[in-house]
A and B are shown apart, each in its own frame.
Chain A
Amino acid sequence: MSEADQALDGRTTVTTTSALSQQLTTGIAIKPRTLLGDAWRRFRRHRLAMFGVATLLFFGLSVSLGPLIYQGYLLRQLEQEGMPISNPHPDLRALVDHLDFLSLMTPPNSIHLLGTDDLGRDLLARCMYGGRVSLAVGFVAMIIAISLGTFVGAVAGFFGGSIDQILMRITDLFLSLPVIPFILLTVYLFRDPVILAMGSPETGIFMIVVTVIGCLAWMQTARIVRASFLSLKEKEFVEAATALGVGTWAIMFRHILPNAMGPIIVAATLEVGSAIITESTLSFLGVGFPPDTPTWGRLVTDGSQYLQAAPWLALFPGALIFLAVLSINFLGDGLRDALDPRSRL
């Protein structure tokens, strides 16, 4: 433990003692320390995790609210430049598709803050739009994979016996599936009906992509959760809960699961990154989003062609993917340390 940590610990003790004395003197009860409160306190001290949270918040705000500011700016700049948008009701989508033939492959400048590609499309607008898609894909696919994996792992680990056997063989089956051909097949089979049901190609493809990625990535989580459950279910607190007559599902999800949270969170954070990257693979193979939907992965793929002539085309979206995945990993790191009840600070 470093000096800084000791100092911090010292300060905590001081505050606690002063609070105690305050309570003794004033008679006002201070707030008791809770599990989550402790976690938050520990989390705040994890600098890299805070950096991750800040970056993710910044990305979140940039892709959701950023376009509102940037749209007006870009529209004015295009007007001045002489390539105004013909669409009378421009939105982010119109900016993404707008071809500015007066600035082709220009490096970052005052009109196009991150430069343009070979057709004069604004890279920042495309990164914002792509960020919405990529981040949404990453998080939704992660939620699907983690829920599925946790459920399967928990049931297999807790009940054991033949249920465990069956579920684990299913897990093995999924692990041995060749992922890319399987995704291609699924997309070919279900693309048209899903697009038809969802109304637009973009939403339809989104649904398929997140489902497919999510449903092919839960196996690792299931194994991790099963392993944790196998060891945790023998612990005394489980016995105590059983003795008190707590129901099976409550024991599984209220008593055991919080103790297995650490590894799940790490798996979850890794999942977000790999989902973003799998999505770009799919786009590259032509079964992902339509070619005019600029996801981060697609922007890197397209830009890599021009790495010498226009390096910013690949480097900016590449840096975004890199930062996003890194921040999520930091966040996971911090959450794991914070939520682990054994790592009391």
Chain B
Amino acid sequence: MTHKRLWTWLVLMVTATTLLSACGKKPAQTPPTTAPVAATTTAPVASTAATTAATTAPTVAPTAAPTEIPTVAPTATPVAGGTLKILYAQAITVINPYQSTGTKDLDGATVIFEPLARYNQNDELVPYLAEEIPTLANGGIAKDSKSITWKLKKDVKWSDGTPFTADDVIFTWQYCSNPDTGCVWMSVFSNVDKVEAVDPTTVKVTWKKATSNPYNVFVSNTGMIIQKAQFANCVGKAAIADAACQKANLAPIGTNAYKLKEFKPGDTVIYEKNPNYRDVANTFFDTVEIKGGGDSTSAARAVCETGEVDYAWNLQVPAAVLTPILAAGKCDTVAGGSFGVERININFTNPDPILGSKRSEPDQPNPILNDLKVRQAIAKAIDRKPISEQLYGPAGAPTCNISVVPLAFTSTALTCERDLEGAKKLLDEAGWVLPDGKSIREKDGKPLKLTFQTSINTIRQGVQAIVKTNLADAGIQVDLKAIDPGVFFGSDPGNPDTLQKFYTDLQMYTNTPSDIGLDSYFVSWTCAEVNSSKVKWSKANDTRYCSKDYDALYTQFTAELDPAKRADLAKKLNDFLVNDVVVIPLINRMTPNGKSKTLEGPTYQTFDSVLWNIQSWKRTS
């Protein structure tokens, strides 16, 4: 009897082991879409080779392949047509850019819509629906900076064949600036006094007050022009409530090279060539397919190992996983600019749970971190090198600055090498001394303990581990906390774990400037933006930092219209924040996208959609 049972158990054990290892692979390899599934079946073979290649020459592998690529002019071989396959980890749910719920929706809209102008990979403006970029020199921008006049391209047609006019531009402003529309980019239009048509192809935007960034409106992916004829009845509450408007949000008419063919919200969008596009002769692909779902790892495999797709968005994968995948050699990473700065924010208020509902309120100063020397010590003790090398790899570079784009506005004055002895000295000076036989510093019998939270993400937990060890070397104990990203970034006033409530001493996340002028970026450290229960934690300043000097500098910055002086002030603001250790910038994130080696066109964007120039993408041999 026992023998029989023994054998049964043995068989069970073997089966279970197989299942276990299969289950382990599952989350990484079986995304809910068809494209990556196909990728999975072939992936193991390809990647075994990749792994061996990576172990022998991890740094050479990704760059070694380009030598084999024929450097023929793109006009020589490609035959136009076919399908451009794009894979996004998040699926598109709505195509109207003003109702979008994230970058993926804006990117989906970019294939159909155009703004007056877009930013290219060098953050320079390229005219799209506009004939030229208005400047002071050509008279497009008024001398008093109170208005801007755009000349529109003539003979532009919507994909339904009707002509595009200045009325559409005016309508776009009316649509989005109506508070009831629920337009996500309403704040972009907040400084617009009126938009009027000088003639059918000339639009004049008048500002409420003089602005330093007149290109804020109708430019880039936040300013795409929608058709008046289609959305005329959708201004105000009807935008979401009316059935016809809901339909329009999912099947809009645009002016770009492709028009909508089929849309399954939350899954796939298929676009086809727009026959009414002004440059239809040069549109390369017949159809474009954007598929959503899966995760970054399977996306990387689909573009680099199996060649299943031509382009994959956001390959935010730990360096150790990404390197062998890239080594398969079928893809190039597209990176550059900045995805934002990964930073540690310091809490200037006391997050001690003993305070109950008074915790992290502006009138409760942080007992440890209000001392500049302690903050400096923390900044000095952190080692950015392993964070960038071991965790981010090609997807990030160490930075000492909180503002890294545009380049002209970026400070070069700061250094941030690790200085452990310096950190220890500062802590000693601040009165936090190391008692004999202990490894944590104390002051007046209180241990130097900090709490540190971030969202759940393999790379972020790695950074937490490194920071914890770094600070432990200096005698600071750090208790870590990792929170579900949906909660952490969710800004739900009922949840204690949001980044706005900031119920810990330190927290880490990435933030990107939403406009090239940086006004809305630097505002988030001013006194007016301090978060508290009074404002339902809806403001931007989660550090609760409040300094008259910083506020004065910021006011000066927003009032300044001269670009050179603005750049200078932006650098000063950056240096002020870093020197006062309000934030500890760690990594300039350059999360790469992946493109097939046969695809030509994709560039990396900081201030616009990565699909900004999709009308000119083509396949090379």
Contacts and interface: CB of A to CB of B under 8 A. Distances in A.
Contact of A1 (B1, B481, B484): B1
A112 B562 CA distance: 59
A5 interface: yes
A315 to B, nearest CB: 7
B24 A318 contact: yes
B321 A309 contact: yes
Nearest to B470: A99
A196 B353 contact: yes
Range of interface residues on chain A?
35 or more
B71 to A, nearest CB: 33
A304 B24 contact: yes
Nearest to B322: A309
Interface residues of B, number: 55
Nearest to B474: A86
Contacts of A47: 2, 6
B305 to A, nearest CB: 11
A95 to B, nearest CB: 12
Contact of B320 (A48, A193, A291, A306): A306
B321 A306 contact: yes
Nearest to A46: B2
Contacts of A318: 20-21, 24
Contacts of A292: 461, 464-465, 468, 480
Interface in B575-602: none
Interface stretch (B9-17, B87-95, B123-131, B159-167): B9-17
A322 B17 contact: yes
Interface in A276-328: 285-287, 290-292, 300, 302-310, 314-315, 318-319, 322, 326
Contacts of A193: 353
B482 A286 contact: yes
Contacts of B353: 192-193, 195-196
A308 B390 contact: no
B496 interface: yes
A89 interface: yes
B465 A121 contact: yes
Interface in A240-276: none
Interface in B1-57: 1-3, 5-6, 9, 13, 16-17, 20-21, 24-25, 27-28, 44, 47-48, 51, 54
Interface string A1-18: 110110000000000000
Contacts of A314: 24
Contacts of B496: 188, 192
Contact of B1 (A5, A192, A306): A5
Given A98-B469, A99-B386, A195-B353, A286 B456 contact: yes
Interface in B373-431: 386, 390-391
A276 to B, nearest CB: 14
Interface string A69-88: 00000000000000000111
Contacts of A45: 2
B437 interface: yes
By Cβ-Cβ distance, the 7 closest A-B pairs, closest first, are: A291-B482, A192-B353, A118-B320, A286-B484, A292-B480, A286-B456, A291-B461
Given A118-B391, A292-B464, A305-B297, 20 more contacts: A4-B2, A48-B6, A89-B439, A105-B320, A119-B386, A119-B466, A121-B465, A201-B479, A201-B481, A286-B456, A291-B464, A292-B468, A305-B28, A305-B318, A306-B320, A307-B24, A307-B25, A308-B44, A318-B24, A322-B20
